[in-house]
Structure formats: C-alpha cells, structure tokens
Structure 1
Amino acid sequence: MYKYVKRILDIILSLIFILLLLPILLLISIILLFTLKKQIIYTQIREGENKKPFKMYKFRTMIIDNNIPDKDRITKFGKILRNLSIDELPQLFNVLKGDMSLVGPRPFIVGEPLPSDYIDPIRYSVKPGMTGYAQIHGKRKLSHKDKIKYDVEYAKKYSLLLDIKIIFLTLFNMIQKNN
C-alpha cells in the first residue's frame, strides 16, 4: 500500500521542488552553457527497480575529454556543484518520470563490478532514490558492502516515517557539511 502512496508523494514533492528550485536550475544551466558550451546534462545508465536500466540525469561537472584523468576534468564550477550535491538536482526529473524515488538505495552503474556474494535481490525491490539510508550513515565513507547492507535494511522496512527521517537527516547533513 505504501508503495502507491510513496509514488504519489514523489510526484507531488518533485514537482514542488522543481518549481521552487527553478530559478537555481535555470541559473546553473546558463552558467554551464557558457562554461562548457556543450551538453549541460550528463546522463548515465543506472540500475533501477528490479534492475531495470534507466538514464539518470546530473548536471555536467566535467569537461568532455577522455584524454585527461577524471580528477583533472572537473571544472571549478563543477567542483562547487559536487561539493553542495547540486549536480544531483536534475534527478528530480527522474523522480517525476518514475525512474527514481526521492528516497531509496542509490542506483548502481549498469555493469559496475560488484561482488555478487553480498547483493541481496531485495535491494532491487524498491526504486532507487536521490538519497537513502546509506547516505545518512556515511555516504562516501562506506564500503560497497556497507552501503548494500543499509540498502537491504531500507528495502525490508521502508515506510513513510523512515522516508521522512531520511529526508530530514539528509538535509541536516547537507547543512552541517556546508557550515
């Protein structure tokens, strides 16, 4: 039952966030258009619910040149977007489309090598999210194994209260990080 309520909430909240953030989204788009002069949205094929592939959107933060190491391709503006996690905002459109949810396990890249001995299929029984249980427990500090452990825990007990808790803790962590 909550799965249907969650989808309705995802649609309503993603629309509200898109409308509220529209000036910021437009400003970032204009800056990226002038600095990168090419595609401002980066798409990557990720694994969704039931491992169904989908295109995940992000603001482009790197110049397009495969001859340069990744760490040297990140633009100054891109570094700011990444540090503030603003490069992830286009995923609101993934949520609106139904590819993602606001809360759920972060989607893996299709073909990303992961040891199969610790991938529990229940992880893929829920839509991937912009933020999730693993993100509030350490985000970049966690190993793949620990992230998956939190993802499985979330998939087994997700609820409205848990989603609200994750959203508030995500916002709190973002504010803490930037102070």
Structure 2
Amino acid sequence: MTTRAYDLFKRLLDIVAAGIALVVLSPVMVIVALLVATRLGRPVLFVQPRPGKNGKIFRLRKFRSMRDIDQARGLVSDAERLTTFGRKLRSTSLDELPSLWNVLRGDMSVVGPRPLLVEYLSKYSPEQARRHEVRPGITGLAQVSGRNALSWEEKFALDVEYVDNRSLALDARLVLATVRAVFVREGISAEGHATMQKFGETNA
C-alpha cells in the first residue's frame, strides 16, 4: 500500500475508531468531567490552538489538569498549578479523551506526532518541520519511546521517523505500546519539570 493510499485508509480507521470510542467511553468522560469540575472548577475542558497537518491551526480539546493562574496564591508555573488529581489524570491519559472529538473532525489522527504549541512553528528546522506532513496524533512514536523524558531533538527525530515509515503495522504496534505505557506510567514528566521544558528554552 502506498503512503497516499494508507493515509486515506487511515482517515477511515480514525473516523470509525473515534466514533466507537466516543460512544463506549462516554460514561467515563462524564465521570471525569464531573471530577474536574469538582476538583479544579469550570470550564472542565482545556481548549488551545495547536498546529495540525501542514501547520493549519485547530482547537485542541483536553480535560483540564491544572488550576488557573493565580499570582496572589502563587499559582504561576506548571509545577505550582498541577495538582495531585491533575497528575493522576495525565498519568492515565484520561485527560486526552476529549481529543477523540478532534480525531473525528479530522484535526487529528489516533496515531501521529503530538500537536505542540503554535509558537514552536517558527523554531523548527526544515527537517523538524516535516512532523507536520501528517495529522498530529493522540499518541505517537515519541510518546511510546519515553514521552516527556526524551529531549526535544529525540522527540522530533522520532516524529520524522514516523512520517517516513507510517503504516498499518506500525500504527497497530504504537496503539498496543500506548496501552502498555499508560499502565507503566513512565516518562510523564521531564526531569526537574512538571511536564516538559518549552522548546527553545534553556535553564537559567
């Protein structure tokens, strides 16, 4: 199967998988939404512009896992805003469930490079920017290879490796590896950070 043919087939798989998952997991999503509203307040969804295929901007949806910024209470950095509940939400990947709607819409795929911040677009090298040749994914090669424990350079190299080698067999392997990674809960945070140091930042 050619890459173009697989991309068309993969889109069909994404629609079927996301549609079924949204129906089957709807009770779980309702429970998580109620817990987020109780523990962190409203809105329960975190919505943020992210670049998709070919750099086209879309609105990513996830469950909130952080408190709002509140300088008076000292809640400014990610580490200060991320609660124990939020950490558990992220470690189980339950915060990602609303992104299935992005998959159904065509903004994302189940498997692909993670959608990062819009501000990174101007910072990529030409080779790193190739990660946007495909739809971003809920999970991907970098996520099952270490998540935030990897350096940015390692993650981008894996993203481009996925772009060059994407196939049904690889996607199936990555989905299975993702299930394992969720249970193992490794690489959720980079060393010394609540999540991951921003791309292009250096430690003071």
Asked if 1:7 corresponds to 2:18, the answer is no
TM-score after normalising by structure 1: 0.92
Partner of 2:22: 18
Partner of 2:44: 40
TM-score after normalising by structure 2: 0.81
Asked if 1:176 corresponds to 2:180, the answer is no
**Residues 118 and 145 in structure 1, CA contact (< 8 A), matched pair in contact too:** no
Partner of 1:28: 32
Partner of 1:63: 67
Distance 2:14 2:121 in 1: 30
Amino acid at match of 2:91: N
Distance 1:117 1:90 in 2: 31
Asked if 1:144 corresponds to 2:174, the answer is no
Structure 2 unmatched runs, 5+: 187-204
**Residues 46 and 56 in structure 1, CA contact (< 8 A), matched pair in contact too:** yes
Shift of 1:175: 2.0
Aligned length: 178
Amino acid at match of 2:178: T
**Residues 91 and 182 in structure 2, CA contact (< 8 A), matched pair in contact too:** no
Partner of 1:52: 56
Distance 2:37 2:185 in 1: 28
Change (3 A) 1:112 1:121: closer
Among 168, 175, 187, the residue aligned to 1:167: 175
Amino acid at match of 1:73: R
Partner of 1:104: 112
Q: Secondary structure at the match of 2:125?
A: helix
Distance 1:120 1:103 in 2: 18
Change (3 A) 1:113 1:71: farther
Distance 1:85 1:118 in 2: 31
Distance 1:162 1:137 in 2: 13
Change (3 A) 1:176 1:76: closer
Shift of 1:176: 2.7
Distance 1:116 1:74 in 2: 28
**Residues 121 and 129 in structure 2, CA contact (< 8 A), matched pair in contact too:** no
Partner of 2:139: 131
Distance 1:154 1:7 in 2: 16
CA RMSD of aligned residues (A): 1.8
Distance 2:174 2:24 in 1: 21
Cα deviation 1:127-147 (Å, max 9, x = unaligned): 000000111111111111111
Q: Secondary structure at the match of 2:37?
A: helix
**Residues 122 and 156 in structure 1, CA contact (< 8 A), matched pair in contact too:** no
